[in-house]
Amino acid sequence: MSAGKTQHNHMRYDLQIIASWIDPGSRVLDLGCGSGELLRFLINNKQVHGSGIEMEEDKVAACIEKGLTVLQGDINVEVLDYPDLSFDYVILSQTLQQVYAPDKLIGAIMRIAKRGIVSFPNFSHWACRMQLLYTGYAPVTKQLPYQWYNTPNIRVITIKDFRKFIDEVGLKILKEVAINTHSQNRYGKIIKFLPNVRATYGIFLIGN
Amino acid sequence: MSEYIEHDKQGVSVGIVEKKLFTFAEPPDEMVLENGARLGPVTIAYETYGTLNADKSNAILILHALSGDSHAAGYYSKNDEKPGWWDIMVGPGKGIDTDKYFVVCSNIIGSCMGSTGPCSTNPKTVQPYALDFPVVTIGDMVRSQKELMDYLGAKQILCVVGGSIGGMQVLEWTLRYPQMVKSAIPLATTTKHSALTIAFNEVARQAIMADPAWNNGNYYYGPKPNLGLAVARMIGHITYLSDESMRLKFGRRLQDKSDFSFNFDADFQVESYLRYQGKKFVDRFDANSFLYITKAADYYDMEKQYGDGSAVKAFAKASAKFLVVSFTSDWLYPTYQSRSMVKAMKKNGLDVSFLEIEAEWGHDAFLLPNERLTNLIRGFLERVCRENTT
């Protein structure tokens, strides 16, 4: 991928990949946009019309102070208000595993956008498999650092699961990249060989 | 709105300012009000800070709440004890930066702070209007402000901003003059009063009208209904605070005593506070203005007026970029009311940002020093200003 711009390299690695998939000038909604890192990059470098939804007051405030269009709320509820096909892309990065009803959310995303971009930690990474196999405990890794009783990551998703799900709900995978990186890391690499075992994150571009 | 006027901690101020008057609708060309009555001449008190730029694109209009006035910032004289009511927000380098923007604050018709209202002289009788003053609406207030902005030469308004009843005027501006308003910041406000809010206003009005001195509004040559107005203000102050803020501010603490007095003096601090606020208010506010402005606010229903009862249909007329802000402890205009307007804006594809600020001070939070609110407004204005010029 063409990183190019200096700002690019300051972003989380998965966000760098997501940014590279977005066409200049498009309408983008970032669900769970955090402090607006990706949105700001896309507005400055790709001239997108971007907005975001975020739950935490501090993060929403940081976004609005930067001049971003962001509203505070629950992504599962807020997506319901937009008219059909309001956006070219709706982004859901590192959040799907925390959603109570992923099928409903993906459905809502595909109603309001032509394309969805979804990234999530891959639960079938070899480190997870080994822990479960050899220790018998639920995996705790750098990407999924919580215990079963305090994890926000309530959905166990693998790259293969997601492909199967997209197929079952009648959507199409338009692009797919598996990467090896840590959750907040700026660096990483693309995994082409045995991604379901070797990748820590999967990133998908989906459409109808 | 309460009064929390303090000097700027850093001593930053827009400096000495002057209240100005603009008069239009001279008879026989009176202003035809929403209820069909004719009013003229109409005077609007206003203040301006900063300079209108060459392409006349940097005007910001501040709209005040119930008891506010045109004096949003600065001082009237060197010895002035207090600055304007939003001096913490408006000034050089502040959230609403008077070095960058041409800031206008307009008083509302119906008020007693320099604009035409029930205490103004009726040209037909050469007596105060009293209850002959027509019942004005939020729409009438905004139409008169439009006359002012035209007179000042602002071709567009970069932003209209205000809280509470000022926020209702903000919403009205975005629907009535969508081409003129580039952005809007409705703070702690609603598209229509709830039954709870109307109820509080009605009790306050009844307190005034039950005062024998009110005399059907004709008190301008005799004793004023100070007792009634003071009680009305006390009710207002309860609604501006919150359970939490009153608990923190007063609790059950007693005022200058260690035990109950076993009579009906003000024993509790909260009683003493409300009595003080009530007494202070009667010196500066006209009881009839209180009736007129609260009625205008109760009547306001932009959903009915612009959308046949639908907020979604109403906001279809707007094109401004919005920053909607509510406060967690505001029970007069609770967050659900802001959320419902945000929802209607989203359904129309409007550019809207929304934040509910965690604040314990109830409805009054929008007037208190709040770095978060200042930074939100600054960031939002910088963006809309940038997007407006490109």
- Which tens digits make up the pLDDT trace of A12-58? 888 999 999 999 999 999 999 999 999 999 999 999 999 999 999 99
The pair of structure tokens assigned to A176 is 């797919």
Low-confidence spans in chain B with pLDDT less than 50: none
The set of residues, in sequence order, having a beta carbon less than 8 Å from that of B181 and lying 6+ positions away, is: B156, B157, B159, B160, B173, B174, B319, B320
Examine residue A133 and state whether it is found in any structural domain, yes or no.
no
**A197 against A177, higher pLDDT:** A177
**In the annotation, is B363 catalytic?**
yes
Closest to B115 (Cα-Cα) out of B98, B133, B92, B99: B133
Examine residue A135 and state whether it is found in any structural domain, yes or no.
no
Partners of residue B103 on adjacent β-strands? B49, B60
Q: What is the ipTM of this complex?
A: 0.93
pLDDT over threshold 60, residue A136: yes
Write down the mean pLDDT value for chain A.
91
Examine residue A142 and state whether it is found in any structural domain, yes or no.
no
Size of interface A-B (CB pairs under 8 A): 56
Do B372 and A61 make contact, defined as CB atoms within 8 angstroms?
yes
Choose, from B164, B183, B245, B329, the residue flagged as catalytic. B164
User: Out of A51, A72, A83, whose CB is closest to B355?
Assistant: A72
pLDDT-derived band of residue A2, with 50, 70 and 90 as boundaries? Answer: very low
Examine residue A137 and state whether it is found in any structural domain, yes or no.
no
Sort out which chain A residues have CB atoms less than 8 A from B354's CB and list them: 71-73
- HSE value, Cβ hemisphere, 13 Å, CA-based, for A70: 34
pLDDT digits (tens, 9 = 90+) for A82-115: 999 999 999 999 999 999 999 999 999 999 999 9
Show the domain range for A189: 7-123+153-207
Do A61 and B355 make contact, defined as CB atoms within 8 angstroms?
yes
Q: What predicted TM-score, i.e. pTM, was given to this entire model?
A: 0.94
User: Total structural domains in chain A?
Assistant: 1
Choose, from B106, B330, B338, B364, the residue flagged as catalytic. B330
Which CATH number characterizes residue A89's domain?
A: 3.40.50.150
Do A65 and B353 make contact, defined as CB atoms within 8 angstroms?
no
Examine residue A201 and state whether it is found in any structural domain, yes or no.
yes
Examine residue A139 and state whether it is found in any structural domain, yes or no.
no
- According to the model, what pLDDT value does residue B269 have? 96
**Mean of pLDDT values over A154-166:** 94
Write down the residue that tokens 């305090």 correspond to.
Answer: A150
- According to the model, what pLDDT value does residue A5 have? 42
- According to the model, what pLDDT value does residue A4 have? 39
Question: Please, what is the angle between helix B226-240 and helix B269-282, to 10°?
Answer: 130
- According to the model, what pLDDT value does residue B7 have? 79
Examine residue A46 and state whether it is found in any structural domain, yes or no.
yes
**In the annotation, is B64 catalytic?**
no
Query: Residue A142 CB: number of other CB atoms within 10 A?
Result: 12
Does A68 lie at the interface with B, CB-CB under 8 angstroms?
Answer: yes
Sort out which chain B residues have CB atoms less than 8 A from A78's CB and list them: 346
Examine residue A43 and state whether it is found in any structural domain, yes or no.
yes
pLDDT-derived band of residue A201, with 50, 70 and 90 as boundaries? Answer: very high
DSSP codes joined into one string, A167-187:
HHTT-EEEEEEEEE--TT-S-
Contact present, B317 and B348 (Cβ < 8 Å)? no
Element (H, E) at B299: helix B287-299
pLDDT over threshold 90, residue A196: no
- Report the residue of B313, B378, B383 to disrupt the A interface, i.e. the one with the largest count of A CBs within 10 Å: B383
Do A65 and B379 make contact, defined as CB atoms within 8 angstroms?
yes
Closest to A6 (Cα-Cα) out of A186, A203, A205: A186
**Whole-number Å distance between alpha carbons of B63 and B76:** 19
* Architecture of the domain made up of B20-193+306-389: 3-Layer(aba) Sandwich (3.40)
- According to the model, what pLDDT value does residue A1 have? 39
- According to the model, what pLDDT value does residue A74 have? 97
- According to the model, what pLDDT value does residue B308 have? 97
